[in-house]
Structures are given as C-alpha cells and as structure tokens.
Amino acid sequence: MNLKSHTLPELTTLFKEMGQPAFRAKQVYTWLHRGVRTYDEMTNLPLTLRQQLAAEHPIAPPRVVRKQESQRDGTIKYLWQLADGNCVETVLMRYHYGNTVCISTEVGCPMGCAFCASTLGGLVRRLEPYEMLDQVLFTQLDSGLSVSHIVLMGIGEPLDNFDNVLRFLELVNSPEGMNISMRHISLSTCGLVPKIDALAQKKLQISLAISLHGPNDAVRNQIMPVNKAYPIDELLAACRRYYEATSRRIHFEYAMIDGLNDSPEAARELLRRLKGLPAHVNMIPLNHVEESPLKPSSRKAVAAFQKILEDGGVTATVRRTLGGDIDASCGQLRRKYNKQSQ
C-alpha cells in the first residue's frame, strides 16, 4: 500500500516497526498531505530516513497530461496519468460558495449506463485511496485555488470501490491533512442498494446523491443495467433507511433525456414515488455523448418537469452546465485521449 493511503495512526504504527518515533510519522504525513513530490522536500527529516523512504515507498504522484480551462466560467479539467499509465479525470468548478473538485473513483466504470461516456470501455481498475486524495491535492496545487468542496461524481462508481472510498474520505477529512469537512463532500451512486445500507451504518455527514434518471423500472431498465439487480422500489426503500440513519436529505440526479424520461407523466410519477422522503431533485440537461443516440430534452420540457415537481412540494433545481466548451462531463476527455493515443 502507498504510504499516502495510510491513516496517521497506521503510519505511526508502521514507523514504530521501522524503529522511528511517532513524531516522524506525523511529519511525513503532513508533508505527504501537502503534496510534496519527493522525499527531499521533507527538509526536517534526516537524510538517511529520506533515502530509506524513497527506496521503499515511492510517492508516485500523478502527472498532468491534459489541462483544459473554460473561457466561459473558469472550470478547469485535468487529465492525470497515474503511476501505472492509466488516466483519470478531475474537474475544478468555481461556485459562489467555494471551489469544488469532482474526482474519479475508478479507471473506467463497470455499471454500463447508456448515456455515460465513462463506462464505454468498462472497468479497468479501482483507484487506491491515495489516488483519489492526489486528485484533490494536485488540482489545488496546480490551479493555485483552494478547494473547499468535493463531489465523487467523476469517472467510476464510488460504491463499487467502497473500502478505498471510505478510506479516502477519512484521509481528506483528517485535521492533519486537507481537513475538508464531511458536510462539504457529496457521493453519487447509480444505486448499489447493499452498499447504500453499508454506508448508512457509517453515519457520515456527507451528502448522498442518487442517479435516478427515471421514475420507474421501465425507464430505468432501458438506460441503467443496475436497475435489474436493484429495482427502483428497493432503491428508494434503501434511501429511506439512509435518511433514517443519517437525517441527511437525499439528492436525486435526473438527466433529462428527450422523449425518454421527460414527460409530465414521468414528473408526476416521480413525485408519487418520492412522497414522504426528504429529497432534492437535481435536473441535469443531458450532455450529448458522441457514441450515444440519446438527446437532451428541450428547455420547455425541462421547465415543465421542474414546475410539476415544485408544485408537488419537491425542491428541484436545474444544474447549471459548466465547462461545456472543454469536454468537462464524465469520461469524455479520457475517452478522447485514449482514442488519440491508440
């Protein structure tokens, strides 16, 4: 395991086994979480220890292979190359409440959603905890913008990489590290019910977002294979249990797809299904993916859908699209890069 994937107590134990005092572990932890690229930068460490660590525990920071900055809204998209040559994307978005990074949790994705570019080549591998942390850390360092919020909404299914994601959350939240509040972190899932229950048991203060994208099984089955394993009623029952365990309102993402899920009847059905669940619906105009025949809904359909939800007492917002000029939606940049380099 990479040194940066260890919590501070674990690192302290590891250092003890190496015959090093606890304060050394804390020094190293602090340096690593500041984003040093070499042990030589750890100037308060003895040379012999720096040499030993460099030989036994390579830091392996990611390398920027593409960086695209939106001329419209300042959104920055990074394509990172990891130590093994695989690439993942991170997006930095600038909101009035702070700078938000959207990170990837896997290289590719096994879930197979019909509208999503990230899943086109399937899953390559899951990310290690330090590889998620590095996306936050090096985005902050490279951009010079301090990060206050994180969304796990990049490439991959976070709950398919459960243990590593939880460890990442612990690392990024640690006071000796980046110290980013759990309340400023959102995790999005396509609906892995047993993992939603497992997450509920952890009682974290993060926000849970569910990629719903349809009001019933008929619609979800067409675009989200996961629905065949965990149909919508089971998913919403898990959301209710999650709310009971955490008291955190659930966010539902709903990509508006022309003629598929955007009718007034669909809005009314959604309303019925969400009844009694403290929910917020985030409508996302579909981003067109080259390989897919699905098209975004008209503005009129989006407005009508939103009104039905609001009139029914469910808050619904239409997500502002950022970075439309830089392939900033999930998986598009990695896909383009992989195609070009083949």
**Interface with ligand SAH, residue 286, by CB under 6 A:** yes
The distance of closest approach from Cβ of residue 115 to ligand SAH in the complex, given in angstroms and rounded to an integer, is 5
CA dist 71 and 328 (Å) reads 12
Does 103 help bind ligand SAH (rule: CB under 6 A)?
Answer: no
The SS3 of residue 1 is coil
281: contact with ligand SAH by CB under 6 A: no
Candidates 63-71, 107-115, 132-140, 304-312: pick the segment binding ligand SAH (CB under 6 A): 107-115
SS3 content of the chain, % helix, strand, coil (to 5): 45, 20, 35
196 touches ligand SAH (CB under 6 A): no
* Amino acid occupying residue 67: K
Separation between Cα atoms, residue 4 and residue 59, nearest integer Å: 8
Residues 312-331 interacting with ligand SAH (rule: CB under 6 A): 329-330
Residue 54 burial (10 A CB sphere; 0-12, 13-18, 19+): middle
Residues 242-261 that bind ligand SAH (CB under 6 A): 253, 255
Q: Is 109 a catalytic residue?
A: no
- Shortest distance, position 122 Cβ to ligand SAH, whole Å: 13
Residue 284 sits in the site that holds ligand SAH (CB under 6 A):
yes
# of chain residues touching ligand SAH (CB under 6 A): 18
- What is 33-84 written as a DSSP string? TTT-SSGGG-TTS-HHHHHHHHHHS-----EEEEEEE-TTT--EEEEEEPTT
**Does residue 135 bind ligand SAH (CB under 6 A)?**
no
Note whether 116 binds ligand SAH by CB under 6 A.
Answer: yes
* Residue of 89, 128, 157, 253 marked active site: 89
Confirm or reject binding of residue 189 to ligand SAH (CB under 6 A): yes
Residues of the shown chain interacting with ligand SAH in the complex, contacts defined by CB under 6 A: 111, 113, 115-116, 153, 157, 188-190, 211, 253, 255, 284, 286-287, 289, 329-330
What positions carry a catalytic annotation? 89, 330
